[in-house]
Amino acid sequence: MTSIFFSSGIFLGWSLGANNMSNVFGTAVGTRMIRFRTAAVWCSAFVILGSVVSGGGASETLGRLGSINALAGAFMVALASAVTMFVMTKASYPASTSQTIVGSIVGWNLFSGSLIDYGALTRILSTWVFCPVLAALFSMLLYVLCRRLLRLTKPHMLTQDHLTRLGLLLAGIFGSYALGANNISTVMGVFVPISDFSPINLFGLVTLSAAQQLFFLGGLAIAVGVFTYSKKVIMTVGGGGIMKLSPVAAFIVVVSHSLVLTIFSSQGLSDAFVSLGLPAIPLVPVSSSQAIVGAVVGIGLLKGGRAIRWRTVGAICSSWAVTPVLAAGICFVSLFFLQNVFMQQTYRPERYRLTGAEAARLAPEVDTAGLDGLLGRTFANARDFKDRLDRVREYSEADLRRIMETARLCDASAATALQGAADAEGAARGAMP
Amino acid sequence: MSINILRSSIKIERQIDEFLNQISEAGLIFKSGTEAYLAGDAEGFEAKLADITLKEHRGDELRRTIETALYSKTLIPESRGDVLELLESMDYLLGGFKGALWRIEIESPEIPEPFHAGILELSDNVVKTAEAIVLSARAFFKDLSTITNHMHKVSFWETECDKIVSRLQRDIFRDDSLRLSHKMQLRDYTGGLDKIADKAEDVADKLAIYVIKRSL
């Protein structure tokens, strides 16, 4: 049964591989600088490596956006995401798993009555602006550097061709690793909290955690997508949708894209920023397509902007707004059917109840004055409990999280048991003189 | 695999350089061959004719080898169509120089002394036009930023050729001592030389487009 539920994640991974390899190796293969088979082998190997080795960074933010707590729910979130990807691809829009998965998780949150972490959501949404802008800045900078370097070294056309070929291969490998590291969380991230995998020790050398095993599975699915369908996508998109690129420009675009993806998924880089007294880099899954579009537009702008097909850019940008909304809608409706027609548990209800003892425990850290009216009452879901808390006072995000964590009851049965205990406590208190 | 491709790239780079050398040298041979003919040095002319024939053969060989290597080793896939066209057009210049000397060998035209200076001037300018396009082609392969330094000279020398040919042909047809058939032979001969310069200018026009396509 579990494997059936994982199938939607595998499907999503397959779509990611089919669609996003064109971002990494598309121009190299489209311009015949690198053979498809060579590109596919390198891409698959490094996507899997990136997923398993560095895949954890960005999944934490996704987990904060919505901690999906039932396997059927996670299945539907991934399926809604994959279906949206499929619909958008069929409609010739560059779909992105990071957008579809965010939309689907918000859809699950709305359906289950879970609280949407607006902090995490804002962080993710803001990267949808920062990511293309940053990629554009990187590509502009690299373009100027490359131009200067070529003017300085004056390589023969054939030597330049050879170096570009090598550069495209290395950039593609780097891009594939970054793609795996950053985007595997969009494919398998929703299954991480609920998977029943246990750690595996490989030859006494490496231990693969449950999450890494999931990411490996997702990486394999991406690799299958790369081998089975990406050539078709490359040949369709390879004509240069936004702008015709020279092989050197294509190299710059892929490097810029990979740098952006690495920045948003590297825990080490974020820690280094913090140690230098700079703000931490948000570790979020960013869209590979957005990074590519940003990088291409960056080079186009540097060349005066005339070569850019702005109509295509406009259509792509509007699809960035449509995709998450569509995914949220599909997910919400599908969850309704899964729960009511197929009788599957799509989420474990999380009830909230704050006892007097817990309030007392919170008191040194959080101002609990005004919470008396809430004590002993059970709230059906996070949204109801937060609405009630909001009426008491405007708590900071940290305080709110602390109160909610304390008051959270895991499932309905636990809530009922606790309700019974509270009732007994109330009765005992009433019996006291 | 990578080292192999680099090695064959370097080999083809040398062959392209050698091919362009053949064109440049063919121009110089053509010029001295014409000088020898006008000076009545039959032996010297024959030697130059043999030289230019060898150059043309070697040029053809190199062009075929380069084209085959570019396709069989999938090199410069983005630019190879343009490079192929460029090499073929440049080969036409080489053929043009050889053809001009062979025309003299076949027709043995009688060139009156008053026209010698004009024909030498025309030959000199045709060679300068070809030299400018050879330098442009080298820059196309090695250093795009300097290509404009050479390309504008192609047009300049080609215009000079046009002026000389017009002047020469006018003088030929106004010379009452010549028969009409003689005049027509000299007209065709000078027109043939001018065609080499015209072809060089056509190559420059194409090259200008290739440069735009190759810019980063």
What would you measure as the largest C-alpha separation in chain B, in angstroms?
A: 71
Whether residue A33 and residue B77 make contact (CB cut-off 8 A), yes or no, is: yes
| CA distances for A1 relative to A5, A10, A71, A75, A340, angstroms | 7, 14, 10, 11, 19
Percent of chain B exceeding pLDDT 70 equals 97
CA-nearest of B25, B20, B45 to B111 is B45
Q: What is the mean pLDDT of residues B102-126?
A: 95
Res. A428 pLDDT band, cuts 50 70 90: very low
Give CA–CA dist A216/A210, Å, rounded.
10
Find tokens 């089919």 and name the residue.
A18
Mean pLDDT calculated for residue range B149-163: 94
The answer to whether residue A426 scores a pLDDT higher than 60 is no
Distance CA A21, CA A70 (A): 31
Which pLDDT band holds residue A143 (cuts at 50, 70, 90)?
very high
Average pLDDT over residues A242-268: 86
Q: Hey, is the C-beta of A90 within 8 angstroms of any chain B C-beta?
A: no
In this predicted model, what pLDDT tens digit does every residue of A289-317 receive, in sequence order?
888 889 999 999 998 888 888 888 888 88
Write down the domain spans for chain A: 2-340, 352-431
Q: Is A264 in a helix, a strand, or coil? A: coil
Task: Decide: A376 and A353 in contact? Cβ < 8 Å.
Answer: yes
Considering chain B, what is the average pLDDT of its residues? 93
Predicted confidence at residue B181, as pLDDT, reads 96
Please say if the pLDDT value at position A425 is more than 50. Answer: no
User: CA–CA separation, A182 vs A22, rounded Å?
Assistant: 16
Is A21 in contact with A180 (CB distance < 8 Å)? no
What confidence tier does B156 reach under pLDDT thresholds 50, 70, 90? Answer: very high
| Encoded tokens for B6 | 């680099």
Task: From chain A, pick out residues whose CB is under 8 angstroms from the CB of B86.
Answer: none
Q: Which residue of A has its CA nearest to B66?
A: A158
Residue type, B100: A
Helix (H, G, I), strand (E, B) or coil at A92: coil
The radius of gyration computed from the CA coordinates of chain A, to the nearest angstrom, equals 24
What's the rounded mean pLDDT across residues A324-342?
92
Would you say A281 and A270 are in contact if contact means Cβ atoms under 8 Å apart? Answer: yes
CA-based diameter of chain A, in Å? 98
> Is CATH 3.10.20.340 the classification given to domain B2-215?
no
Chain B residues whose CB is inside 8 A of the A246 CB are: 78, 214-216
Q: Looking at residue A414, what is its pLDDT? A: 44
Mean pLDDT of B108-126: 95
Q: What is the pLDDT of residue A305?
A: 82
**R_g (Cα) of chain B, nearest Å:** 19
Task: Give the single-character DSSP code of A309.
Answer: -
Structure tokens at A212: 């890494």
Q: Are B100 and B30 in contact (CB under 8 A)?
A: yes
Query: In whole numbers, what is the pLDDT of chain A averaged over residues?
Result: 82
Average pLDDT over residues B82-88: 93
Instruction: Evaluate if residue A412 carries a pLDDT over 50.
Output: no
pLDDT at A67 (0 to 100)? 73
Contact A151 B214 (CB under 8 A): no
DSSP state of B112: -
The answer, yes or no, to whether residue A424 has pLDDT greater than 60, is: no
- Tokens encoding B32: 């001295």
User: Which residues of chain B does A33 touch, with a Cβ-Cβ cutoff of 8 Å?
Assistant: 77-78
The 3-state DSSP composition of chain A as helix, strand, coil percent (nearest 5) reads 75, 5, 25
The per-type count for chain B, helices as H runs and strands as E runs, is: 6, 0
Alpha-carbon distance B161 to B157, whole Å?
6
Question: Which residue, chain included where needed, has tokens 């097909």?
Answer: A309
Which pLDDT score is estimated for A354?
A: 82
Q: What pLDDT shows up at residue B31?
A: 96
Neighbour count for residue A151 (Cβ, 10 Å) = 12
Q: Give backbone dihedrals phi and psi of A208, rounded to 5 degrees, phi first.
A: -95, 120
Query: What pLDDT sits at residue A116?
Result: 82
3-state DSSP call for residue A200? strand
Average pLDDT of span B137-143: 92
**Mean local confidence (pLDDT), A230-243:** 68
On chain B, the residues whose CB falls within 8 A of the CB of A143 are: 216
Separation of alpha carbons B129 and A251, rounded Å: 37
Q: Which tokens sit at A419?
A: 């309700």
Q: What average pLDDT does this structure show over B65-78?
A: 87
Q: Where are the alpha helices (DSSP H) in A114-156?
A: 118-153
Does residue A330 register a pLDDT over 80? yes
> Which residues of B lie closer than 8 Å to A, measured between beta carbons?
2, 5-6, 9-10, 12-13, 16, 74-79, 83, 140-143, 145, 214-216
Residue located via tokens 């539907």: A76
Q: Given pLDDT bands bounded at 50, 70 and 90, which one contains residue A279?
A: confident
Let me know: does A23 contact A43? Beta carbons within 8 Å.
no
Length of chain B, in residues: 216
- Contact between A368 and A362 (Cβ < 8 Å): yes
Max mean pLDDT range (A42-46, A128-132, A291-295, A300-304): A42-46
Q: What was the pLDDT predicted at A433?
A: 33
User: Which residue shows structure tokens 């304390």?
Assistant: A406
Give the C-alpha separation, A366 to A373, whole Å. 16
What average pLDDT does this structure show over B150-173?
95
Section A236-251 average pLDDT: 75
Confidence of residue A427 (pLDDT cuts 50, 70, 90): very low
Secondary structure class of A432 (helix, strand, coil)? coil
If one counts every other C-beta atom within 10 angstroms of the C-beta of residue A115, the result is 20
Asked if the Cβ–Cβ distance from B214 to A32 is below 8 Å, we say: no
Question: Is A158 in contact with B75 (Cβ distance < 8 A)?
Answer: yes
Q: Closest Cα of chain B to A242: distance in Å?
A: 16
Alpha helices in A195-305 (DSSP H): 210-228, 230-237, 247-263, 267-275, 288-302
Please report the pLDDT score of residue A312 as a whole number: 82
Contact list in B for residue A247 (CB cut-off 8 A) is 78
**A430: Cβ–Cβ under 8 A, 6 or more apart, which residues?**
none
Q: Is A166 on the interface with B (CB under 8 A)?
A: yes
Question: Are β-strands A200-202 and A206-208 bridged in parallel, bridged antiparallel, or unpaired?
Answer: antiparallel
Beta partners for A408?
A: A352
C-alpha span between B8 and A303 (Å, rounded)? 33
pLDDT, tens digit, for every residue of A187-214? 888 788 777 778 888 787 788 888 888 8
Annotate A413-423 with b (16+ C-beta within 10 A) or e (fewer). ebbeebbeebe
| Domain boundary assignment for chain B | 2-215
User: Which pLDDT score is estimated for A421?
Assistant: 42
Instruction: Calculate how close chain A gets to B22, using CA atoms only, in Å.
Output: 19
Query: Which residues of B are less than 8 Å from A31 in CB distance?
Result: 77-78
What is the C-alpha to C-alpha distance for residues B28 and B49, in angstroms, rounded to an integer?
12
Question: For the residues B18-43, what does the mean pLDDT come to?
Answer: 96
At residue A57 the predicted structure's pLDDT band, cuts being 50, 70 and 90, is low
Where is mean pLDDT largest: A64-73, A363-372, A375-384, B148-157? Answer: B148-157
Q: Tell me if A127 sits within 8 A of A261, measured CB to CB.
A: no
A157–chain B Cβ distance below 8 A for any pair: yes
**CA–CA dist A85, A77 (Å, integer):** 12
Within 8 A of B83 by CB-CB distance, chain A residues are 157
